[in-house]
Structure formats: structure tokens, C-alpha cells
Amino acid sequence: HAASQDLPCLAELGLRPRRLFDTELAARLAGFERVGLAALTEQLLGFTLEKHHSAADWSSRPLPESWLTYAALDVELLTELRDALDAELHRQGKSQWAAEEFAALVRSGARPPRVRAEPWRRTSGIHRLRGARAQARVRSLWYARDQIAARRDAAPGRVLPDSAIVAAAELDPKDEQTLLTLPGFGGRSVRRLARTWLSALDDARRLPDEELPVNPTVEGPPPPHRWAERDPVAAGRLARCREVVVRIAGEHTLPPENLITPDSVRRLAWQPPEEITEQTVAEVLRGFGAREWQLTLLV
């Protein structure tokens, strides 16, 4: 269920399935409004799942007996759920669509995760900051946090939340007293590392201008809200393409994003092939990873 969350973890252990059936994706293709595991199990099989351990810290060891029972029960009905969804897809004539989607999941799950050149730029809230020096403070704090998280084998957000990094980058505190008044720095474990955070801020402060972060060149189309200003003709193409996607998705009881990825639509509308034919449009979308069933419905 929701295989894209599990496949990278399995791949790290050398476990790569040759085929799979994703019950969440199947439910999306079948047009179910609620596609969570508990909702589907209740609707299709009549069983209610206990979800009270879903937000627990599963890095704890040893795992309590009640958690192990919860984990086992969470997947006990998965095969029966698969059978029910498989029958529903067959009834709707969507079995081949699902097969192509599952095969694409298997292919993508076997790839190692793409390593981002500057992962610190994904810090939540960084868009509020102005100037390269503030970005340098985010970068320095991000890497300091990452080293601690790796040493502890813990999620970075549990060491220091993104909101705290942004707050410190914004204010640039020079002493421990000021630092600890910022939101996110109140916890005992965070306070114990105050010198580490101040040292990271000092490093960013001492950086020469030529070593400050430079905004990367953005590949692909700009954000859609800027299209009307940058290229009104392309904005018109995007609007018409989106209308097609929404209409056809509605006709087949599909979420539009499962009919085609929004990014593929944006890239096609921003830079369409020079000659617009069914064949050239199909080639462009296929290059973005579109499946044959999607091309058949959309091109």
C-alpha cells in the first residue's frame, strides 16, 4: 500500500521486487475517493483497522509487543484487499492500466534515490529569507544538524526542526541567550547543542562573499503563476491542456494527477514539439515517463 514510500527503503537492503500490486494506486485508478489503507479495508472488506500506533517513533528498540501486533494486523488483510481491488479494476476495464502503472513502479523502485546537489535548499520556509548571507546560515545549520542526525541515526527534524533553522538564519543570533529564545530551540537536547548551532552561524558569518550560495539555474518551465507574464501564449496552451486532462480524468473516474503528472503537462505546454502531431506529442510525453494507456487516452 503506497509502494513508493517503501521501495526506496527495501532497495537500500538489496530487496527489489520483480512485480507488485499497489493497493493505494489501484484504488486511485478505480476512482475511490478515500484511498488510505484503513478506509479501503473498511469499505471493501468491512473491517476497521486500529491506527493508534501509526504516529509512534518506530526507531525505538526493542519494539513493544503491542506495536508488533499492530504492524502485523496492518497488513494481514492486504491480500484480500488486493483481490477486491483487482476485481474492481477488471470490472471497470482498467486492469491493463494498473499493470502498466505497477510495472513502472517496479522500474523506478529499483533506481537509487537521486542525490540532490544542494539538499539544504529544501529546508521548509527557506523562501521567506532574503539574501545570500541568510541562505549561507541555513546551509551551515543544515549540515551541522545533518552530521548530528547521522551520528545518532535519527531523523534530522528530530534533532532540530526546519522552522528553527529558518528562525536562526533570519535573526542571526550572536549569543546563547538570544539563540535559546527563538522558536524551536527550547528543547533540552537542542539547548545542549547551543554551541554547535552558534558555531555554524559563525562559520556562515565569516564566509567571504565569493563563497556564498548562488541561486541555481532552474531547469524546465517556471512556476505556473508566472506564465501569463513570461509567455502568455504558453499560458494559454497550459490552460487548454489542463482542461483536457480534467475532462478526460472525469470521464474515466480518475484523479487528474494519475492520468498524467502535472509536471509532464507543464513541460509539454511550455516547450511543445515544433510539429504538432499525435506522434510527436506522444514521443514528448513518453520521454517524460507517460505510460501507453495514458497516451491512448490523452494524445
197-214 confidence digits (pLDDT tens): 999 999 999 999 999 999
Integer Cα distance of 64 and 66 in angstroms: 5
User: What pLDDT is recorded for position 136?
Assistant: 97
User: What pLDDT is recorded for position 49?
Assistant: 86
Look over the chain and give the mean of its residue pLDDT values, rounded to a whole number: 94
User: What pLDDT is recorded for position 110?
Assistant: 65
User: What pLDDT is recorded for position 103?
Assistant: 96
Integer Cα distance of 289 and 283 in angstroms: 10
> Does pLDDT of 125 surpass 70?
yes
> Does pLDDT of 5 surpass 90?
no
> Does pLDDT of 1 surpass 90?
yes
Give how far Cα 48 sits from Cα of 37, 54, 74, 77, Å: 10, 14, 10, 11
Give how far Cα 232 sits from Cα of 7, 140, 225, 226, 244, Å: 40, 40, 11, 9, 19
Digit-coded pLDDT (tens) for 231-248: 999 999 999 999 999 999
For 223-226, the CB contacts below 8 A with 24+ separation are 224/266
Find the angle CA(152)-CA(113)-CA(148) to the nearest 5 degrees: 15
Digit-coded pLDDT (tens) for 34-71: 999 999 999 999 999 887 888 888 888 999 999 999 99
Amino acid at 253: T
pLDDT band at 112 (very low <50, low <70, confident <90, very high): low
Contacts of 47 (CB under 8 A, 6+ apart): 41, 77
Contacts of 245 (CB under 8 A, 6+ apart): 256, 259, 260, 265, 298
User: What pLDDT is recorded for position 113?
Assistant: 67
The set of cell numbers assigned to 21 is 500490486
What's the predicted TM-score (pTM) here? 0.78
Integer Cα distance of 188 and 119 in angstroms: 27
Query: What would you report as the CA-atom Rg of the chain, rounded to the nearest whole angstrom?
Result: 24
The reply to whether omega before 62 is within 30° of 0 (cis) is yes
pLDDT band at 8 (very low <50, low <70, confident <90, very high): confident
Integer Cα distance of 245 and 234 in angstroms: 16
pLDDT band at 109 (very low <50, low <70, confident <90, very high): confident
Give the CA-trace dihedral at 114, 119, 121, 122, to 10 degrees: 70
The set of cell numbers assigned to 218 is 532552474
- Looking at the chain, the whole-number percentage of residues with pLDDT higher than 70 is 99
> Does pLDDT of 114 surpass 90?
no
Amino acid at 286: R
User: What pLDDT is recorded for position 137?
Assistant: 98
Digit-coded pLDDT (tens) for 126-164: 999 999 999 999 999 999 999 999 999 889 999 999 999
